[in-house]
Structure 1
């Protein structure tokens, strides 16, 4: 009787915590956010400082200027609460084809990306996407999801009787199932959502949103991952291009209006 009462109280407390931690992303999607944004910002600032200490910045003044220009255009169209922050942008001298944005308003671009993002619009697609992660609080949501999942499994383990080999095997399977069924799909949802947010941001900033498709065509030529999509944290290149095409109408209209008014971006 006591065990059953404890179990019901524990489940009730967890359920209440999850319900009261609900938030909404910029696209209207419900989110689980358990941590204060200030804590994620501190982590982002610390991570960025560590990256700067371990990876040198690019020595190319022109390339750095180009990246800064693209980032500044994106930042200028953000909601005020994000636009007024002191964003820091660094072009890292590293061959990996990647970029990132961290809580704490930090943006990093690797020089290797500039070999694939062949013009300002394609670079803007990447920067807009990464900034989209920050606007949508994806880091907080992912940490919260992992925390809630691990706590739920730990709670279930404690309430499911005495230890045994069978019990251990069952919960190991549940852990793998949670990774594939909850955490990875959330990551793919984050990537797809950041693509849509980034598409809107780049168009409002005066960059051609159709270049986002060409960017992923370039990425495909660079090499596709052999990991099946359902086991990956990212959608396949083909899925991304299809989703971007599906969301293209409104951003394309925004860009066309800016271009007609001679307000399109001119970074390089």
Structure 2
């Protein structure tokens, strides 16, 4: 299996956003060297040398760099788990040890991972998904009639750039009858703000994990800061 294949979930390791490959074919959980280096140095934990060997799908073996204990946050759940560190392509490979210890169930028919009762949607890590990811609502929300509110969302994929253009999906707008503001966001922060407006005469309930918008990376050259005549923070515009 290549680094682009399989089912992934979005999570945080030591407070750093990462894509976790859910792999029931491995017995241990593995953190990549590159992901370890991306973690804030002040959050690094001690790495203990191990004699265990990593056996790849092709049958070749290589040594683990060591083992360390990290905090893994999936949705609102935080777990502390011992992971092996190795030079792999994926950010993290979530093995049977983690899934069993934390009562996680792989629900292929529903395309999600059940984490202690919470449903975490999978995404496929491909060139198409990494270029444009979906944003889901993190909790059940009721938007009153004639009201504008900010609803927390999260990325169900991985965007390599910090700046991304958020746009509502046609399905969400047509089904819910709500409007979502087009905006520039940073999906790597974990929580993505959704500015939602309900122009209807009735309240509208949005259920947790509903896909509401998409995020597409924006090049730095496409962003310009346009100063305002008043002395207030500059407004950010996106060239389209």
TM range (shorter): under 0.3
Q: Which has the higher strand share?
A: 2
TM-score, length of structure 2 as denominator length: 0.23
TM-score, length of structure 1 as denominator length: 0.21
Higher Cα Rg, which structure: 1
